Structure formats: C-alpha cells, structure tokens
C-alpha cells in the first residue's frame, strides 16, 4: 500500500512526506527492536526516495498522534525513578538511546540529504509548549537538553521542534494548528514552517466525525504562504487505520481518517484531493517570485488586501477577501477580480487568476457504506473468570491495571468473594445492598455470582466512571467479578501516571 499512497501524494503535488517514528512499535521491550512489516522504517524512507520526494523524519520519540501512550513504550513506567518528558536522567537516557538508534540507522543507509538521501528535516520531541506550561522549569530544561542532544548527532539536516516557542538555535520552532498565518519563528533568520495543517480532527467513540471544508483548508494554506510561509505539511494527508491496539486516547477510534485528502483506505477524497492539487500547482507556478522578494501588502477594501511578491525575476499576487459573508469584486493592476467570501486568489504572473480557494472545480463525491454480501460471523459467550485459573494472582487491594498487564492486554479481571451471614438486615427488610465501583477508566462489566448485572464506561472527555447499583446477594459466599477494560492509553503528559485501577465498595 505504501507505494500507492506515496505516488498519490506526489501526483497530488506534494514534495515532502512527513512521518512519525513510533518508539513503542520499534522497541516493544527494552533493548529488543522491531523494524519489520509496517514498522520497516528504512523501507518506507527508501520508497519515498524512489518516488523522487523528500522526507521529514519526526523522531520524537514522544509523538502524541492519538497513538497508544503517545508512542512511548509502557515498559518505561517500570524504570526506577523515571519521570516522563522532564529533566529526569532515566527518561533522558532512554530517550537518547532510542533517538541515536534511529539516527544511526538512517546514517548507515545513507538516507540523510547530505548523504544523497531524501531526509531533509528531522524533529526532536513534540509539542512541548503545553508541557512547559504545566511542569515549568524542569520541562524547559529537558527541552533545551533534547535540542542540544539532537544537534549533536550531526545529521547534516536541520532539526525542528513543533509548538516549541523557546527552541534554541539552530533548532527551528514550527507551528501546529488549523491556521498559522500569524505564527512567527523565534528568530528572524529562521524559516516560517507549519508542520501540522490540521485537515480536520481525529474521531473518538461517541463523538461526531469531524469535517473541514476543502475551501477552508485551502484558504488556510494560501494565507500562510502569502504571509511568508515556506513549508506547510498536512496533518493528515493520509491517516489510515490504527490497527491492533495502537489507537490511543482514551476512546480514540481505530479509524484515523482525519478527513484527509487520501481517506482511511487510501482512496482520493474528493473534492479535497483535486482542489488541493490545483492549489499546489498554483503555488509552484509562483515560487520564483515567492523566493526572490518579500511581500508588499496593499489594501483593496475594508476586508480585502493584496500580497504582492515582485522582483526582476517575477511577480506573483495573492488577492484576499477576509469577509466571511460577502463576495466582492476588486480592482488590481489593470484587471477586476471576483473574490468569493473567505477566499484568496492566486495570480502567478500578477495578472491571471489561476486559482481561488473557494472556487472548487473538482467533482464532489459522497460515499456511503453498504453491507458486505454474504458476510458471516460466529459469536460465543466467554465464561466469567475463575479465581482458580492458572493466570490468576492473589493480591491485597485493587492494583493498577497497566502495572499488572504491562499493556499486553486491554482487559483485566478483578475478583473477590463476599460472605453474607444469615442475620444480615437486608435479607429481612428487602433493601438490597448497593455495589459501587469507581474507576479512572475506561469500561467495566460487573458480574455477581456469574451473572452480568451491568456495565459502566467513560468517554473521551471524561474517562472516569462510576457504577452503582443494588445487587442480590445470597447467604454464604458470593462471587464478585469485574472485567476492567482500557480503550487506548492516554497520550498527554499529564496523564502518563494515570491509574486504570478500581475502588470497590459494598455497604
């Protein structure tokens, strides 16, 4: 599938493929590396090179990406004294070791641009600004260390840090957002770069699927370029499917379609794909003027302006209408131009309108899912877990789920026995005792004496849950079993120590 996706990206007018490197996929256990199948990073980079494209290698190794645990391996939680993404020696040692591993692999395969390879940029860390705000000085110190460490690896290509206002020289800070025209790098000699132009948003269970009009996405890119932007990359151009247990969250769906130009299945998403393709062509026709002059800005009306790049090597103009409600006709040069509301026209020669962000000529295609004919399946009912099973452990209290499972499974059974004496008051007055279960997330099935009596679950915005219900208990020993399930581990730093444990009470 990779060659087809890469070729479609090239046909769509892209120059650079951007990819994360998922630490937990490449080092599932300490010191044991995996670079096969869909984790074959070298193969992917070489396919990009064979297609004649460049590559931005976003090593991280924290990546977020709505990926399980933000791409960090869960075994890091067991490293003594570790604290994630802060000035912490155990974390820095592990992070540096993995980063060096990836850089050395790329060097050995001659994949950095000075070696003749396609990698023209590399990224260290990811979106540290919110972490610095939350943690303060230790996070700032870590970010500075990470930048210095990365530069010291001598890749021969620039390093970037996205959403990192204090990225130290020579590292370039970049923007991630829906709009980045007002973003400025932290030094005048650094290029204005946009690593993530959000095509829409990820999907979460129980939430509506996000959609962003192709016209608005194109408008945001052109507005960035007319404002001096030099690099813009879509997040996502193709999101695909998070197979297995890679979807993070909590409650992020396995579909990572993102309303991208190439949909979850690698098909072109129209009119988005073609509309952006035309935009890329218009920008490339303007590139001589864009790189040979700074823009001059002229007012064309109350909410209209022109950004003009003019030199002896060429002239390109961007005519913008920022009014969200009304189309206008503007005079520019010797011509008149119709500008729909919230749109920008590109004139690669300062005369001829080649493209307008709101004028969509590509076909509008609406797909619908239809049932697969002849599809069959079988179902069965699992038995409630037994305390006598070979994989059962006896512990005092309710232990944190990930500590026990090491994220090898989404599921963990909690089982206990409650003995009821014949003189209990509720047996006489009929007031059933209430079983209350509180959990940090994400889903629990509750069984009493082998029967399912109810369930509770959280959500993307509030993963914590409470189950509280009256239960029928018998004289003698009653067996309570709780099937706790995680729906993707949290991806943000403030939740890396989140316990997926339970509190249990039977008054």
Q: List active site positions.
A: 127, 196
Residue 155 burial (10 A CB sphere; 0-12, 13-18, 19+): buried
Taking a C-beta distance cutoff of 8 angstroms, is the pair 465, 456 a contact? yes
Taking a C-beta distance cutoff of 8 angstroms, is the pair 295, 226 a contact? yes
H/E run at residue 99 = helix 89-108
Taking a C-beta distance cutoff of 8 angstroms, is the pair 53, 233 a contact? no
Long-range contacts of residues 173-180, Cβ cutoff 8 Å, at least 24 apart: 174/231, 176/127, 176/235, 178/212, 178/220, 179/220, 179/223, 179/224, 180/220, 180/224, 180/229, 180/232
Q: State how beta strands 443-448 and 355-356 pair.
A: unpaired
CB-based contacts of 207, cutoff 8 Å, min separation 6:
460
The Cα–Cα gap between 500 and 440 comes to 5
Residue 200, CB-side half-sphere exposure with 13 Å CA sphere: 23
Where in 371-462 does DSSP place strands (E)? 411-420, 434-439, 443-448, 451-457
Taking a C-beta distance cutoff of 8 angstroms, is the pair 33, 101 a contact? yes
Name the token pair of 369: 């899912």
CA-only gyration radius of the chain, Å: 27
The Cα–Cα gap between 402 and 488 comes to 11
Taking a C-beta distance cutoff of 8 angstroms, is the pair 435, 473 a contact? no
Of 9, 20, 21, which is closest to residue 53 (Cα–Cα)?
A: 9
Taking a C-beta distance cutoff of 8 angstroms, is the pair 342, 216 a contact? yes
DSSP assignment of 125-169, as one string?
S---HHHHHHH-HHHHHHHHHHHHHHHTT--SS-EEEET-TTPPT
Taking a C-beta distance cutoff of 8 angstroms, is the pair 199, 187 a contact? no
Name the token pair of 441: 């997330």
> What percent helix, strand, coil does the chain show, rounded to 5?
25, 30, 45
Residue 30: beta bridge partners? none
CB-based contacts of 475, cutoff 8 Å, min separation 6:
420, 421, 422, 424, 427
The Cα–Cα gap between 41 and 415 comes to 43
């Amino acid at each position: 599938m990779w060659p087809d996706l890469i070729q479609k990206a090239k046909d769509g007018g892209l120059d650079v493929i951007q990819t994360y490197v998922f630490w937990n996929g490449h080092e599932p256990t300490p010191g044991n590396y995996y670079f096969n199948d869909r984790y074959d990073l070298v193969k992917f980079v070489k396919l990009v090179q064979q297609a004649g494209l460049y590559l931005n290698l976003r090593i991280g190794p924290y990546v977020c990406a709505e990926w399980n645990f933000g791409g960090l391996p869960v075994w890091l939680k067991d490293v003594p004294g570790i604290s994630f993404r802060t000035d912490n020696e155990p974390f820095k040692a592990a992070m540096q070791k993995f980063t060096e591993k990836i850089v050395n692999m790329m060097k050995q395969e001659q994949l950095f641009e000075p070696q003749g390879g396609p990698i023209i940029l590399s990224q260290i860390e990811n979106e540290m600004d919110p972490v610095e705000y939350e943690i303060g000085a230790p996070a700032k110190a870590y970010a500075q260390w990470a930048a210095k460490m990365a530069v010291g690896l001598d890749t021969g290509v620039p390093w970037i840090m996205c959403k990192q206002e204090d990225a130290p020289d020579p590292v370039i800070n970049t923007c991630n957002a829906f709009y980045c025209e007002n973003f400025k790098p932290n030094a005048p000699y650094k290029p204005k770069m946009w690593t993530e132009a959000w095509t829409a948003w990820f999907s979460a269970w129980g939430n509506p699927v996000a959609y962003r009009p192709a016209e608005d996405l194109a408008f945001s890119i052109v507005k960035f370029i007319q404002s001096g932007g030099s690099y813009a990359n879509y997040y996502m151009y193709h999101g695909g499917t998070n197979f297995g247990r890679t979807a993070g969250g909590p409650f992020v769906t396995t579909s990572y379609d993102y309303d991208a130009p190439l949909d979850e299945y690698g098909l072109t998403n129209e009119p988005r794909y073609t509309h952006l393709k035309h935009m890329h062509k218009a920008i490339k026709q303007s590139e001589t003027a864009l790189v040979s002059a700074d823009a001059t800005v002229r007012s064309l009306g109350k909410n209209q302006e022109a950004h003009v790049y003019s030199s002896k090597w060429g002239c390109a103009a961007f005519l913008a209408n920022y009014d969200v409600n009304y189309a206008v006709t503007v005079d520019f040069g010797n011509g008149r131009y119709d500008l729909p509301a919230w749109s920008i026209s590109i004139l690669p020669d300062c005369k001829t309108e080649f493209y307008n962000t709101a004028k969509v000529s590509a076909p509008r295609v609406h797909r619908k899912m239809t049932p697969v004919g002849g599809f069959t399946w079988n179902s069965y009912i699992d038995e409630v877990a037994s305390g006598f099973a070979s994989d059962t452990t006896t512990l005092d209290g309710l232990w944190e789920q990930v500590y026990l499972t090491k994220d090898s499974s989404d599921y963990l059974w909690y089982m206990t026995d409650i003995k009821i004496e014949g003189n209990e008051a509720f047996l006489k007055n009929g007031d059933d005792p209430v079983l209350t279960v509180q959990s940090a997330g994400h889903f629990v099935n509750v069984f009493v004496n082998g029967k399912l009596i109810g369930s509770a679950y959280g959500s993307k915005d509030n993963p914590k849950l409470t189950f509280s219900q009256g239960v029928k208990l018998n004289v003698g020993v009653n067996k309570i079993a709780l099937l706790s399930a995680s729906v993707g581990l949290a991806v943000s730093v403030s939740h890396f120590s989140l316990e997926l444990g339970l509190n249990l009470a039977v008054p």
